[in-house]
């Protein structure tokens, strides 16, 4: 929200008051005087008028979680434990997921309280590559590689998937890179060949890889450089 609009939302100030307060240098954002009403204000920033705190601000939180199988990618669920149950963190109700993984899928999951950041991460237009390690019930044939690269038609959505890169690692094991996130997409792609996915693990999102030392259920905060990746 623009700073001038933020100020004018208080019942004692109108738009003219907001402009005058800013011009007089009476408004500080994160300790710095701001005179430009076009400055964008987020919920994480501290806003003060003279000695009065108009918004206390709060820390932005960015978490990498190694999701284990059996936990739902949701903030609450009536039948299964959720990924938030794995976190020993205050105010967990303020957190949400930057993308989802199926109940049995493991691997990298990002959790945050920053809505703008998570939207950049998950919007279809972002096309952040997501890399999965896939194991299947039947052998993976070479024809899968070309078919996935062309894209597969999903009748339910009436769309063709974006080109995906498949690297066959073993008879029943492959690494798949997607640039979108359709419903059960990996399982449906292999289902095109009537080949059941028996294990699915997300290794990375964009440039961010799951830490190799982490075990299922482990989590840590992202570094500033990692947050800036998205």
Active site residues: 102
CA–CA distance from 183 to each of 58, 99, 113, 161, 189 (Å)?
A: 34, 11, 24, 11, 11
Cα–Cα distance between 135 and 191 in angstroms, integer? 13
Cα–Cα distance between 146 and 143 in angstroms, integer? 6
**Phi-psi domain of 152 (left: phi exceeds 0; alpha: psi -120 through 50; beta: other):** beta
């Amino acid at each position: 929200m623009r700073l001038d609009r933020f100020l004018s939302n208080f019942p004692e100030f109108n738009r003219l008051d907001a402009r005058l307060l800013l011009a007089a240098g009476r408004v500080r954002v994160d300790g710095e005087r701001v005179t430009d009403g076009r400055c964008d204000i987020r919920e994480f920033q501290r806003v003060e008028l003279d000695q009065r705190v108009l918004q206390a601000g709060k820390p932005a939180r960015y978490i990498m979680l190694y999701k284990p199988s059996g936990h739902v990618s949701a903030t609450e669920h009536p039948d299964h434990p959720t990924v938030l149950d794995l976190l020993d963190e205050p105010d967990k109700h303020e957190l949400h997921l930057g993308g989802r993984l199926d109940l049995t899928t493991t691997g990298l999951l990002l959790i945050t309280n920053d809505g703008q950041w998570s939207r950049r991460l998950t919007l279809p237009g972002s096309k952040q590559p997501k890399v999965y390690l896939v194991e299947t019930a039947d052998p993976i044939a070479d024809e899968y590689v070309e078919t996935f690269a062309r894209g597969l038609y999903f009748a339910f959505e009436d769309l063709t998937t974006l080109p995906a890169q498949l690297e066959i690692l073993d008879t029943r094991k492959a690494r798949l890179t997607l640039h979108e996130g359709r419903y059960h997409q990996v399982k449906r792609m292999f289902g095109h060949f009537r080949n059941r996915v028996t294990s699915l693990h997300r290794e990375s999102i964009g440039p961010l890889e799951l830490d190799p030392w982490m075990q299922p259920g482990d989590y840590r905060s992202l570094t500033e450089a990692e947050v800036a990746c998205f």
